Amino acid sequence: MTSTGAPRPSSIDISARDLTLDLARVVCVLLVVVIHLLMVGVGAGPEGLVVSRPLEFQPWFAAATWVGQIMPLFFVVGGFASMTAWRSARRRGGTASDYVRNRVLRLAQPALPLFVFYAVALGGATLLGIDPELLDLVAKSAGLPLWFLAAYTLCQAFVPFMAGCHERSPRLTLVALLAGVILVDTVRFTTGITELGLLNLFFVWLLVQQLGFWYADGWFAARNGWQLFGIAALAYLLLAAVTLPEGWYSNDMLSNLNPPTLPLVLLAVAQACILRALRPALARLMDTHWARAVVFLVGTRLMTIYLWHLPLIIALSGVALLIPGAAPLPDSPGWWMSRPILFVIVLVALFGLSFLVGRWEAPREVGPTPPPVVVGVAAVLAFLPALLVLQFFLDLQLAIVGAVLLGVAVMVLGRWKPLRDIHAPAGADLRGV
C-alpha cells in the first residue's frame, strides 16, 4: 500500500496566486504590531514605574477600531489561501489528513518555542523573586495575541470539511454559520454567561473564512467597484445599527474580539469588499520590485513577527527603563514621539530573531501522514494551549502545559512511523509495499 505524504510548501500551485492578498496579509500583521506598540505603555513617572494602555484612553479609539480591527480581513485572506491550497492538494491526490497535518504543523511548530520561552522566562522570574503582581501583568499582556492560534488552528483543521460544505451548498453554509453566530450571542448575552461566547470561535471565524472561499470562487471579482463599495457601506450601516445604541455589542471592535461576536462578521464583509475594490491600485503597487521585495521579506516571517512582536515590545520597554530618558511617561508627547523609533527597532529585532526561530515556520514532515484519528487528536492538542490562555490568561503553569501539548502535537504530526515499519527487520524497505 502506497502512502500519500502531505504536500510540501514548495509544491503548492501558485498559478492562481493574487499578490494583492499577500500584501493584505503583511499589512494586517504589521498593523497589529503598530497597535500593540501604542497599547503597551511602560515608563517612569514621578512616583515610580507606570504601566498603562494609552491607546485605549484616546477619545477616538473606538472609532479607530472600525478601521484598525483588521483581523477579520486576515481570516478572509486566509480562507482564500486555504481553499486554493486545498484544491491544489486534492488535484495531486492529497487527503484531508495530509492537508490538516501540514497546516496544523505550520501553526504548532512556531508556537512551540514561544511557549518554551514563556515557561523558562516566567519560571526564572519567579525564582528570582520578581514582584508577582508585576509578573502576572506582564504575562497576561504577553499572552494576548495567542487567541489567534486557537482561532486559526480551528479554521485550518476544518478546511476540508467546510470546503466540502461550500462546494455542495455555499449559501446554506453561510446561513447556517450566521445562525450559529446569532444564537451563541443571544444565549450568551441573555444568560450573562460570557464563557458561552467561546463557541463563536467556531461560528464567527469559520464564517469569515467561508467568505474567503467565496473570494476564491470569484464572487467578489464579479462585482464592480460601485457594487463592492455599496455592500461595504451597507455592512457598516448594519454595524452602526447593532453597536451605536446601548445594547449587546460595544462600538469598540476590540471589545468584540474575544469572545468574537457578530460585528466582526460585518467588518469582514466590508473589508473583503473594500480590498477587492482597491485591487487594481494594489495590483499596480505589487507590480513594482520594491513592493514585492518587502512583501516577500515580511511574508516569509509572518508567524515569527506575529508571535514574537509583543514579547519583544515588552522586553525593549523594560530595557528602556534602564536608560535615562528612554522611557518617557506613557501618553506624554515624548512617549508618542518614541513610537516610530521603537517600531523600527522592533522590526529590526524581529528580523534578527527570525534567523533563530524562523526555521520553525516550515513544517517538518517525516514519514507518511498519520491516521485521521491521530491527526485529529494532534490538532486538538495544538488548539488547546491558546484556548486555555484565551480563557484563563498566560501564567507559568499554562506556559508549561502549552509547551508539553504543542511538543506532543509537533512530534506526532511531524514524525510518523507506522507499526509495520517499527517492527520491520533491519534493512527492510517497505516503501513499495
C-alpha of 37 from chain center:
18
Q: Which residue has the cell 462546494?
A: 167
Q: What is the DSSP letter of 367?
A: S
The answer to whether position 2 is within a domain reads no
Q: In terms of pLDDT, which residue wins out, 425 or 262?
A: 262
The tens digit of pLDDT for each residue in 228-246 reads 999 999 999 999 999 988 7
The tens digit of pLDDT for each residue in 135-160 reads 999 999 999 999 999 999 999 999 99
Distant-in-sequence contacts of 337-341, Cβ < 8 A, 24+ apart: 339/37, 339/38
The answer to whether position 108 is within a domain reads yes
Distance CA 151, CA 145 (A): 11
pLDDT at 8: 41
C-alpha of 285 from chain center:
25
The answer to whether position 247 is within a domain reads yes
Q: Sorting pLDDT into bands at 50, 70 and 90, what band is 7?
A: very low
The answer to whether position 159 is within a domain reads yes
Q: Which three cell numbers stand for residue 188?
A: 450568551
Q: What is the mean pLDDT of residues 254-261?
A: 95
Average pLDDT of the chain is 91
The answer to whether position 118 is within a domain reads yes
Distance CA 347, CA 305 (A): 8
The tens digit of pLDDT for each residue in 349-398 reads 999 999 999 888 888 888 899 999 999 999 999 999 999 999 999 999 99
Distance CA 221, CA 33 (A): 30
- Indicate whether 208 pLDDT > 90: yes
- Indicate whether 306 pLDDT > 50: yes
The answer to whether position 146 is within a domain reads yes
The tens digit of pLDDT for each residue in 89-117 reads 999 999 999 999 999 999 999 999 999 99
Q: How many CB atoms lie within 10 A of CB 96?
A: 19
Q: Which residue has the cell 472600525?
A: 66
pLDDT at 229: 97
Distance CA 138, CA 40 (A): 10
| DSSP for 256-267, written as a single string | TTTTT-HHHHHH
Distance CA 98, CA 78 (A): 18
Distance CA 267, CA 272 (A): 8
200 in helix, strand or coil? helix
- How far, CA to CA in Å, does 149 sit from each of 134, 167, 381, 385? 25, 26, 12, 9
242 in helix, strand or coil? helix
Residues in Cβ contact with 63 at an 8 Å cutoff, skipping those fewer than 6 apart: 251
Count of structural domains, the chain: 1
49 in helix, strand or coil? strand
CA dihedral 11, 14, 19, 24 (to 10 degrees): -60
CA atoms within 13 A on the CB side of 178: 13
Contact 182, 197 (CB under 8 A): no
The answer to whether position 370 is within a domain reads yes
139 closest CA partner among 114, 168, 162: 114
Q: Which domain holds residue 305?
A: 20-416
C-alpha of 189 from chain center:
26
pLDDT at 418: 60
Tell me the one-letter amino acid at 191. T
Contact 375, 100 (CB under 8 A): yes
Q: What is the mean pLDDT of residues 394-419?
A: 91
Q: Sorting pLDDT into bands at 50, 70 and 90, what band is 49?
A: confident
322 in helix, strand or coil? coil
Q: How many residues does the chain have?
A: 433
Q: Which three cell numbers stand for residue 386?
A: 491558546
Distance CA 83, CA 108 (A): 20
Phi then psi for residue 273, to 5 deg, are -65, -45
Contact 372, 97 (CB under 8 A): yes
The answer to whether position 334 is within a domain reads yes
